[in-house]
Amino acid sequence: MIKLNKTLDKIFPNVIIKEAGTYTFINGISSLFPLLLIPLITRYVDPFDYGVYAVFLVGINLIMPLVGIGIETSSGRKYIDKTTIDFPSYIFTAICITTILSLSLLLLMHLMSNLLDNYLPISREWYPQWIIASWSQIIFGLVLVINQMNHKPFNFGLWRIGRNTLIYFSFFILIIIDSSKWDNLLNLVFSSYTLIAAIGLVWLYNKKLINLSLSKISATHIFKYGLPLIPHMLAAAVITASDRIIISNILDEKAVGIYTIGYQSGLVMFIFSQSINRAWTPWFYERLKKNNNDENLKSILTLYKISLLFIFTGIFLCLLGWMLLPYLFGKIYLESTHVFYWIIFAFVTQGLWSLVSAYLYYTGETIWISLSSMFAATLNIGISIVLVKNYGLIGAAQGTFCAYLIALVFLMLITLKKAPLPWLLIK
């Protein structure tokens, strides 16, 4: 173990190793809950009920960009400048904006409910829960990003693990008492997200990160930084949601449930890459702020090393899944195994995209991030429809991989052109 640590110290900056290791441990513990539940879900939860539950979660991902307009990302960027701005006012302004947008969207959805009923699989009675759960996720995201940018991975972990403990322990109880019908699962998500958001607001206030004063300058920055990101966030949500929506329409809700199990198992790669990226982002921002050749060279060299780490980790996870997943999933969900392989490499690609996009997030040129995602999402819908019709569930996973690969190639071309960094490792 000591030799391994010394080797890693030579390859990666110490702060990235330390924080990435903590984030990996945290995310590993957080992901342990859903993984432990998989054998129970695949045996005691009807695929239809689990499919509706999955659609509800997808809906939250689609709503969040509209009510959040990227305030977690903009707040994380502004945290670097917290000594020169009124950061508590910035956070309060951000919360007010997301609250107003949430109420506006709820009103709009009710006005359009007759039309939406023809396309949404969940009825209008659930619109308030959908909006409030999405708003709650924005508040939770603010708490997480502040801890991340403050180099507090342990505190970050307490929030992540605490929330997942609440959600999945409650899920476990519903399975035990044979009450895991779709409406109970949706109420579980709503109540858990709302409770955690309320605790998050109290935490922000107690940490003096909210000072109950609105700032026009902060609001201007939030909209200027976040509005160009809305297409990106919607496109990312579309990439995530389109597979299940396409499967639901071409196949059925049962197929959605089976696909979701394979997708969730593949999230282990996303969790790993996200852990590294959470440590990478503040470290990379600090290097860019110093703006000298040595730091820039160090940044690019580290980026290349992390990229190779993602690729080899993806290969390892596929081999591990090949050996273990047929026993874990059981007969009903066995087809989920093949979905898993494609999702693993979809998230390898997505992890590489996150590494490259960090530069444009720092400079605020977020329009290019949106263009890459929109281009990928548009192609993804057509590709996924063709693949699902020809290959079923696996086609949806293949479509997700293609979408992330397209986004990565597009963004790499833009970043290589715009970023004055030593990409060839030459000063």
Residue scoring higher pLDDT (232 or 192)? 192
Euclidean distance between CA atoms 173 and 177, whole angstroms: 6
When pLDDT is averaged across residues 137-154 and rounded to a whole number, the result is 87
pLDDT at residue 331, as a whole number: 66
pLDDT at residue 329, as a whole number: 66
When pLDDT is averaged across residues 258-287 and rounded to a whole number, the result is 82
When pLDDT is averaged across residues 42-68 and rounded to a whole number, the result is 81
- Residue 95: which residues within 8 A CB-CB, separation 6 or more? 139, 142, 201, 210
Q: What angle do CA 176, 182, 188 make, to 5 degrees?
A: 70
pLDDT at residue 313, as a whole number: 92
Residue scoring higher pLDDT (13 or 98)? 98
Residue scoring higher pLDDT (61 or 197)? 197
- Residue 51: which residues within 8 A CB-CB, separation 6 or more? 244, 248, 252, 253, 254, 255, 256, 257, 260
Length of the chain as a residue count? 427
For residue 294, is pLDDT > 90?
Answer: no
Contact indicator for 96, 275 with CB cutoff of 8 Å: no
Average pLDDT of the chain is: 82
Six-digit token pair at 120? 């949404």
Query: What pTM value is reported for the model?
Result: 0.67
pLDDT at residue 55, as a whole number: 78
Report CA-CA distances (Å) from 176 to 167, 173, 250.
14, 5, 33
For residue 115, is pLDDT > 60?
Answer: yes
pLDDT at residue 17, as a whole number: 61
Sign of CA dihedral 223, 227, 233, 234: positive
Contact indicator for 99, 71 with CB cutoff of 8 Å: no
pLDDT at residue 197, as a whole number: 93
Euclidean distance between CA atoms 316 and 311, whole angstroms: 9
pLDDT tens readout for residues 352-380 = 998 888 888 888 787 888 888 888 888 88
332: confidence class by pLDDT, cuts 50, 70, 90: low
pLDDT at residue 20, as a whole number: 63
> Which 3-state string (H, E, C) describes the chain?
CHHHHHHHHHHCCHHHHHHHHHHHHHHHHHHHHHHHHHHHHHHHCCHHHHHHHHHHHHHHHHHHHHHHCCHHHHHHHHHCCCCCCCHHHHHHHHHHHHHHHHHHHHHHHHHCHHHHCCCCCCCHHHHHHHHHHHHHHHHHHHHHHHHHHCCCHHHHHHHHHHHHHHHHHHHHHHHHCCCCCHHHHHHHHHHHHHHHHHHHHHHHHHCCCCCCCCCHHHHHHHHHHHCCHHHHHHHHHHHHHHHHHHHHHHCCHHHHHHHHHHHHHHHHHHHHHHHHHHHHHHHHHHHHHHCCHHHHHHHHHHHHHHHHHHHHHHHHHHHHHHHHHHHHHCCCCCCHHHHHHHHHHHHHHHHHHHHHHHHHHHHCCHHHHHHHHHHHHHHHHHHHHHHHHHHCHHHHHHHHHHHHHHHHHHHHHHHHHHCCCCCCCCC
pLDDT at residue 24, as a whole number: 67
pLDDT at residue 195, as a whole number: 94
Burial of 21 (0-12, 13-18, 19+ CB in 10 A): middle
φ, ψ dihedrals at 402, nearest 5°: -60, -40
- 403: number of CA atoms within 13 Å, CB side? 33
206: confidence class by pLDDT, cuts 50, 70, 90: very high
pLDDT at residue 152, as a whole number: 83
Sign of CA dihedral 386, 390, 392, 395: negative
Euclidean distance between CA atoms 93 and 71, whole angstroms: 10
For residue 47, is pLDDT > 60?
Answer: yes
Six-digit token pair at 367? 């329009």
For residue 213, is pLDDT > 60?
Answer: yes
For residue 137, is pLDDT > 70?
Answer: yes
When pLDDT is averaged across residues 15-30 and rounded to a whole number, the result is 66
5: confidence class by pLDDT, cuts 50, 70, 90: very low
pLDDT at residue 32, as a whole number: 66
pLDDT at residue 406, as a whole number: 87
pLDDT at residue 7, as a whole number: 47
Residue scoring higher pLDDT (397 or 423)? 397
For residue 10, is pLDDT > 60?
Answer: no
pLDDT tens readout for residues 302-314 = 888 889 999 999 9
Q: Mean pLDDT check: name the lowest of 19-28, 62-71, 222-231, 261-270.
A: 19-28
> What percent of the chain lies above the pLDDT cut of 90?
17
For residue 320, is pLDDT > 60?
Answer: yes
For residue 290, is pLDDT > 60?
Answer: yes
